[in-house]
Chain A
Amino acid sequence: MAQAKPARTLQVRRLIILLIIVVLLSLLIARVFSITVLWNTILLKPMLNFLILMSRYFLGSFGIAIIVLTLLIRLLMLPLSMRMLQSGKTGQLIRPQVEELQKKYAKDKEKLSLEIAKLYKESGYNPLGCAFPMLIQLPFWIALYQSVVQALAYTPENLLGLGKQLYSFTVLQDTLPINSHFLWLDLTRGDIVMVFLVGATFWLLQNMYFLPVANRRQGIMNRILPWIMTLLFAFLAFTLPSGLSLYWVVSNIVGMILQYRVTGWGTLKVPSLAFLKRGTAQPSGNPTAKTAGAAAAGKRAVKSVGPQQSATKKAAGSDENPRENKVGDGKLGGKGKDAR
């Protein structure tokens, strides 16, 4: 009975989301409004007007307004981000079990798929979950980009766009034109320092995301992927207004803090700073606190694992201290088959 209740709540939630999607699609198909109107009304206008308002009240600085907005967006997405980070970590921790299954059912693809799906379900891992936090930020990036460009009105076209998107509050009209300078930056233009900052924070974040692995091929990929993302975003930072780069840098720093709390330093080789992690002991602290915190983290990561699921339980066990899973000698986890 107790289990049925959350399931019913989940069903109701899904039903509501489905209903909203159906209503929106119907309105779009019926041309009650267009996608542009929907986009402008829901994302662009509120963000643009909020930024302009913030720039008025935060020392007249548009840069500070961008930082405040970034922090707000990250705060709003915090529950989702944490869930996805945990999911991503779980995915990496159960990799030995996946590889074990791959070897075991190498000749039976159907069975392999079923077993892997079962493992994912038991461990609470969603394969799409790792990319989701970044994907969900895309609309915000685009809207923020449009807001920065329009608010700072670098070109007459941008100013014309701004004229159409402003709410009719006098305070907003009075704030224009906006000062585009923040620290050394002209927020309407690319900046070489921001290129490096964006590249560096993306590289660090990506490297923190991946845990060391025993699989050589996967390890190579884990090393290449951060570079691809780093170069891609450095290029974007080079060519797009530095206001957007500012958003990325602040957002990445927040992301790194969150990531550190979930996976530690990942594949980064840094001096041990484990005491900075929530729930872990200070260097001179008591061992009880460390155990309790690590256990709590492990519980979050694989909360759906039942006692009978030994494979997943091993992963959960290894979650108690991610640093212990990282093996300088190429082994992953003391309990995984590969490690043996």
Chain B
Amino acid sequence: MFNARITKLTKTLIIAVLLATSVLAGCIGPRGWPATQIAGNTLFVATMDGKLLALTPFHGTTKWEWQPQTGNTTGISELGNLSVGNITSGFLSCREAGTGQFRAGYVYGAPAVADGIVYIGYYSGTIYAIRAATGVEVWEHDIKSNIAGGLAVADDTVFVGSSNGNLSALDAGNGSLKWEFSAQNEVWTTPAVVDGVVYFGSLDHRLYALNASDGSEKWTFAAGGGIGATPLVIGGVVYVGSFDKKFYAVDANTGAQKWVFQGAGGWFWGEAVYDHGIIYAGSLDHNVYALDAGNGTPAWPQPFRANGVVKSSPAIVGGVLVVASEDGKIYGLEPNTGEKKWEFDRIKAKVLAPLCAAEGTVYINSQDNRLYALDGETGSEVWAIILHK
């Protein structure tokens, strides 16, 4: 009996440890927050399982589908995590356990489209150029570090930030490296390129402005916290929120601070949008703020309070400001007052990716790998598709 009790205890202990392990494993690793980009009459959508789809905007039907070939450098082997060679990954993941297949990769942000080529960067560090019309791969380039933001394309150059603190500029034609600039910490923002200057933030608390041609530093601006939001450049001013809960307006030429908004209670992460002299930005404090672009004073009597944190970037659709909270609720707001016009609550998953808007429709990627098209004016569902097959 005594032995039986000890055996029972041992089993209990091992089961408890295994349960704890499964709990730990369940919340490990990246998943991505892929978004949608529209170019011409095609939607380019990155999916949670690493595919790139070209869809028609009207019905969401697939034109072509592309994904990195399994077994190449984009994947991290599920079973390979157990090898010493891959210990640097160091994390369990149960998402594709047992398949033994190479994972396609995770995508943060939207693909970039320019001159008939779609560019997409995977968390694993590989950037692909795909022909927009056919879905045929043109080139690939591995920057050897995690990519946790989107890409920007301008002047035949692809700009991408990475976890090793680099901002890399690649030749858009063949993917070769033109130059690299090193910040002091992760660059997880999507760069913004305006008038030959590339703007990006880093977790080292700085906003950088570089000459796009050679990567030389034009100026830096020190914020009080890390910068994960894509800078918005309008009329010679760079607007960006920070993890210090402040929202900054910085002169695009000199890097001098024009104004700062300090009324938020949480981090600013999503890119802000601009419409008719007002900047709209969501915060992790559940609020959406409307600020006068000239002086940073609140444009609404009070910020709009969403049901969850607002990570994804808002979008202006017609005369409606559309915002999404992390809990999957989508709100249509009156841009001048912040009053709610409609609410869409049929998304049963998180929404973290930036919203994409075109011709009265807003496209929303949810974390359960679905794409929703909503009418911007009414919030009614135009179509919704499951991106996972």
Partner-B contacts on A (CB < 8 A): 95, 98-99, 102, 112-113, 116, 127-128, 130-131, 134-135, 138, 141-142, 145-146, 149, 153-157, 159-160, 163-164, 168, 170, 173-174, 176-177, 188-192, 215, 217-218, 221, 225, 228-229, 232-233, 236, 238-242
Interface pick from B11-19, B271-279, B327-335: B11-19
* B9 and A130 form a contact (CB under 8 A): yes
Q: Shortest CB–CB separation between residue B244 and chain A, in angstroms?
A: 5
Is B99 interfacial (CB-CB < 8 Å)? no
* A238 and B7 form a contact (CB under 8 A): no
Point out the residues of chain B lying under 8 angstroms from A146, CB to CB. Answer: 27
Q: Shortest CB–CB separation between residue A2 and chain B, in angstroms?
A: 33
Is B265 interfacial (CB-CB < 8 Å)? yes
Is B89 interfacial (CB-CB < 8 Å)? yes
* B12 and A131 form a contact (CB under 8 A): yes
Is B267 interfacial (CB-CB < 8 Å)? yes
Question: Closest residue of chain B to A141, judged by CB?
Answer: B20
* B311 and A160 form a contact (CB under 8 A): yes
- Which of the residues B10, B185, B245 comes within 8 Å of A177, measured between beta carbons? B185
Interface size on B, residues (CB 8 A): 55
* B29 and A155 form a contact (CB under 8 A): yes
A-B contact count (CB 8 A): 134
Point out the residues of chain A lying under 8 angstroms from B10, CB to CB. Answer: 221, 225, 228
Q: Shortest CB–CB separation between residue B228 and chain A, in angstroms?
A: 7
Is B224 interfacial (CB-CB < 8 Å)? yes
Is B243 interfacial (CB-CB < 8 Å)? yes
* A156 and B108 form a contact (CB under 8 A): yes
Q: List 7 A-B contacts (CB under 8 A).
A: A160-B284, A176-B226, A221-B6, A221-B7, A232-B17, A239-B81, A239-B90
Q: Shortest CB–CB separation between residue A221 and chain B, in angstroms?
A: 7
Contact with A along B206-242 (1 / 0, CB 8 A): 0000000000000000001110100000000000000
Partner-A contacts on B (CB < 8 A): 1-3, 5-7, 9-10, 12-14, 16-18, 20-21, 23-24, 27-31, 33, 81-82, 84, 87-92, 108, 148, 185-186, 188, 203-204, 224-226, 228, 243-245, 265-267, 269, 284, 309, 311, 352
**A173-B1 contact given A163-B266, A239-B90, A240-B24, CB 8 Å threshold:** no
Report the bound CA distance from A113 to B2 in whole Å: 10
Question: Closest residue of chain A to B204, judged by CB?
Answer: A177
Q: Shortest CB–CB separation between residue B241 and chain A, in angstroms?
A: 12
Point out the residues of chain A lying under 8 angstroms from B16, CB to CB. Answer: 131, 134-135, 138
Report the bound CA distance from A168 to B309 in whole Å: 15
Known: A98-B2, A188-B90. 10 other contacts (CB 8 A): A99-B2, A128-B9, A142-B24, A163-B243, A170-B224, A189-B87, A190-B91, A217-B3, A239-B92, A240-B28
Point out the residues of chain A lying under 8 angstroms from B265, CB to CB. Answer: 168
Point out the residues of chain B lying under 8 angstroms from A134, CB to CB. Answer: 13, 16-17
Point out the residues of chain A lying under 8 angstroms from B148, CB to CB. Answer: 155-156
Q: Shortest CB–CB separation between residue B196 and chain A, in angstroms?
A: 29
* A157 and B224 form a contact (CB under 8 A): no
Point out the residues of chain B lying under 8 angstroms from A112, CB to CB. Answer: 1
Q: Shortest CB–CB separation between residue B287 and chain A, in angstroms?
A: 14
**A163-B284 contact given A102-B2, A217-B3, CB 8 Å threshold:** yes
* A145 and B311 form a contact (CB under 8 A): no
* B186 and A189 form a contact (CB under 8 A): no
Q: Shortest CB–CB separation between residue A92 and chain B, in angstroms?
A: 9
Question: Closest residue of chain A to B246, judged by CB?
Answer: A173
Point out the residues of chain A lying under 8 angstroms from B81, CB to CB. Answer: 239
* B226 and A177 form a contact (CB under 8 A): yes
Report the bound CA distance from A99 to B1 in whole Å: 9
Report the bound CA distance from A160 to B309 in whole Å: 10
* A157 and B6 form a contact (CB under 8 A): no
Point out the residues of chain B lying under 8 angstroms from A241, CB to CB. Answer: 90-91
- Which of the residues A98, A177, A232, A240 comes within 8 Å of B90, measured between beta carbons? A240
Q: Shortest CB–CB separation between residue A259 and chain B, in angstroms?
A: 16
Point out the residues of chain B lying under 8 angstroms from A145, CB to CB. Answer: 24
Question: Closest residue of chain B to A145, judged by CB?
Answer: B24
- Which of the residues B17, B30, B87, B188 comes within 8 Å of A238, measured between beta carbons? B87
* B9 and A173 form a contact (CB under 8 A): no
Residue in B13, B23, B269 whose Cβ sees the most chain A Cβ within 10 Å = B13
Report the bound CA distance from A128 to B352 in whole Å: 45
Point out the residues of chain B lying under 8 angstroms from A130, CB to CB. Answer: 9
* B90 and A163 form a contact (CB under 8 A): no
* B186 and A177 form a contact (CB under 8 A): yes
Report the bound CA distance from A153 to B203 in whole Å: 11
Q: Shortest CB–CB separation between residue B34 and chain A, in angstroms?
A: 12
Point out the residues of chain B lying under 8 angstroms from A127, CB to CB. Answer: 5, 9
Point out the residues of chain A lying under 8 angstroms from B13, CB to CB. Answer: 131, 134-135, 229
Report the bound CA distance from A242 to B87 in whole Å: 11
Report the bound CA distance from A233 to B14 in whole Å: 10
Point out the residues of chain B lying under 8 angstroms from A155, CB to CB. Answer: 29-30, 148
Point out the residues of chain A lying under 8 angstroms from B226, CB to CB. Answer: 176-177
Report the bound CA distance from A258 to B226 in whole Å: 43
Point out the residues of chain A lying under 8 angstroms from B203, CB to CB. Answer: 153, 159, 176-177
Point out the residues of chain A lying under 8 angstroms from B12, CB to CB. Answer: 131, 135
Report the bound CA distance from A146 to B20 in whole Å: 12
Question: Closest residue of chain A to B311, judged by CB?
Answer: A160
Point out the residues of chain A lying under 8 angstroms from B9, CB to CB. Answer: 127-128, 130-131
Report the bound CA distance from A99 to B5 in whole Å: 13
* B245 and A232 form a contact (CB under 8 A): no
**A189-B225 contact given A128-B9, A131-B9, CB 8 Å threshold:** no
Report the bound CA distance from A190 to B90 in whole Å: 4
Question: Closest residue of chain A to B202, judged by CB?
Answer: A177
